[in-house]
Chains A and B, each alone.
Chain A
Amino acid sequence: MGKTAELLPGTLDMLILKAVSLKPLHGYGVLLRIRQISRDALQIPQGSLYPALYRLEHHDLIAAEWGQSENNRRAKYYTLTAAGRRRLRDETAGWNRLATAIAAALNTTSEEV
């Protein structure tokens, strides 16, 4: 396992939306999926995962439905709603702008000033 990074405030929601957008997932699945797609580089605060899921559900960005898990247990599955898809697109664009700007700023060398 390589070095892990703390999540920036506000990025957990974005990651949950992304994870759920790939395939309907239960809460534990969301955790695994984020670990997987970030190649274990992001440390998900597990205590905040469920409150974040509930908040997103309450804001109608994801929808929840009870279903069967792989090992035949009852589990709550989350899917992305249309509003969630829009939100994910906006947040991704915003994040990319921010990341590009910060990377550009940090990569500036003394010759370029």
Chain B
Amino acid sequence: MFKRLRSLFRVLTRRRDFEEGMSEELRFHIEQYTDDLVRSGMSREKAARVIREELGSPINIKADCREAFGVHFFDELRRQFSYAVRLLRKTPAFTATALLTLAVCFGANLTIFAVIDSVLLRPLPFPEPDRLMMVFNTYPKAGVDRDGSSLTNYYERRGRIPAFASLSICAYGTEIVGEPGSTERLQTMRVSPDFFSTLRLGPAIGRTFTDEETTSETDHVAILSNAFWRQRYTADPNALGKQIRVNSVPRTVIGVLPPSFRFLSSDARVFLPLASRPEGRAPSRRHSGGNVIQMIARLQRCGLPFVGGAIARGPCRSRASHSAAAGSRRTRSSFDWRSQPREPSSYPCRRPS
């Protein structure tokens, strides 16, 4: 099979040689045969007639030879192709419409697949990704199914929900990064200190944030994405400890993430502590502030494999529905919707009705 493909390829790439060789071979045959017939006493005219009778038309023979090599298939393809091109040229409006339709379809399919691939098909690039959950607040009476969390939610729930091995928050943003004169606007992410330990993937060099670095006075630290570290510091390990200006405030680089770190679709280059003042964490702020914070949790190992809503019926249930907040709010596990195995599933915290 391989040899046949190679011989076909050789013929297709040296098509002229093939055709000329074929003509020359047939010419040689006819001349030799004529000579032999003439030598045996036949007139040239008679010999030519005899040969035509015996050999048939050289055009047919050549066509058969091309077929023997599989070349005819490509000739036919080329003929059909040029015919199609001529037809399309005759109807430019139709051609343009068809091409445009195809282009739009390809584009749309590609986009949809890219999204589905990154969100659904590819597992999250963290250890035990099926235990990672996204926690939402839901406000059924306001018709809000999934909402972000507040700082207060985080500080109230942290360490209080036994179903969660760890709980963390993050907020997307963009900041001006760089020295005056050479700044750029970059995507950033403000995260709680336990964000990386919840994902179980922390800096490749350096350290993560500490609880002490979550106040506005002490948050002058930054962790860089691997790509940003390569681009800005040419992958210099001595970048640790250097100063980087974020919104004109100097911060110390304390860590660099591994290349594999990718949190959902975020393209954050710089990670900062999600700092706040004590009044921002007060119970009165529990549901104010727009709930722009995402809450990420890692489930406790319950002894039961977690599949979809199984946890709601598993031993975690009683602990999960333990009153989380000191106030009137309770977390209730309701897993009856949205728990794709590879996407962070939802863990809605509902207000009791």
Against B, the Cβ 8 Å flags (1 = close, 0 = not) of A45-72 are 0111011101101111000001001000
In contact, B56 and A51 (Cβ under 8 angstroms) = no
- CB-CB under 8 A from A28, the residues of chain B are 28-29, 32-33
Known A69-B28, A74-B24; contact A51-B64, beta-carbon cutoff 8 A: yes
In the bound complex, CA of A58 to CA of B29 (Å):
20
> Taking the nearest CB of chain A, how far is it from the CB of B266, in angstroms?
57
Is B96 interfacial (CB 8 A cutoff)? no
- CB-CB under 8 A from A50, the residues of chain B are 22, 25-26, 29, 61, 64-65
In the bound complex, CA of A36 to CA of B33 (Å):
15
- CB-CB under 8 A from A27, the residues of chain B are 25, 28-29
Against A, the Cβ 8 Å flags (1 = close, 0 = not) of B222-240 are 0000000000000000000
Interface residues of B (CB under 8 A from A): 3-4, 7-8, 21-22, 24-26, 28-29, 31-33, 54-56, 60-61, 64-65, 67-70
In contact, B64 and A58 (Cβ under 8 angstroms) = no
> Taking the nearest CB of chain B, how far is it from the CB of A46, in angstroms?
5
Instruction: Among B3, B25, B29, point to the contact of A60 (Cβ < 8 A).
Output: B3
Q: How many residues of A are counted as interface, with CB atoms below 8 angstroms from the partner's CB atoms?
A: 22
Against B, the Cβ 8 Å flags (1 = close, 0 = not) of A75-100 are 11000000000000000000000000
- CB-CB under 8 A from B8, the residues of chain A are 58
Known A28-B32, A46-B55, A69-B28; contact A60-B7, beta-carbon cutoff 8 A: yes
Report 18 cross-chain contacts, Cβ distance below 8 Å, ordered by A residue. Answer: A26-B28, A27-B29, A28-B29, A46-B54, A46-B55, A47-B54, A47-B61, A48-B64, A50-B29, A50-B61, A50-B64, A54-B69, A55-B68, A58-B4, A58-B70, A59-B4, A76-B25, A76-B28
Which residue, of B22, B25, B61, B70, has the highest number of chain A Cβ atoms within 10 A? B25
Interface residues of A (CB under 8 A from B): 26-28, 31, 46-48, 50-52, 54-55, 57-60, 66, 69, 73-76
In the bound complex, CA of A57 to CA of B7 (Å):
9
- CB-CB under 8 A from B70, the residues of chain A are 58
- CB-CB under 8 A from B22, the residues of chain A are 50
> Taking the nearest CB of chain B, how far is it from the CB of A61, in angstroms?
10
In the bound complex, CA of A65 to CA of B39 (Å):
28
Instruction: Among A46, A54, A74, point to the contact of B65 (Cβ < 8 A).
Output: A54
- CB-CB under 8 A from A48, the residues of chain B are 64
With A50-B64, A58-B70 given, name 18 new contacts (CB 8 A). Answer: A26-B28, A27-B29, A46-B54, A46-B56, A47-B61, A48-B64, A50-B65, A51-B61, A51-B65, A54-B65, A54-B69, A55-B68, A58-B68, A58-B69, A66-B21, A69-B32, A76-B25, A76-B28
Which residue, of B54, B61, B68, has the highest number of chain A Cβ atoms within 10 A? B68
- CB-CB under 8 A from B3, the residues of chain A are 60
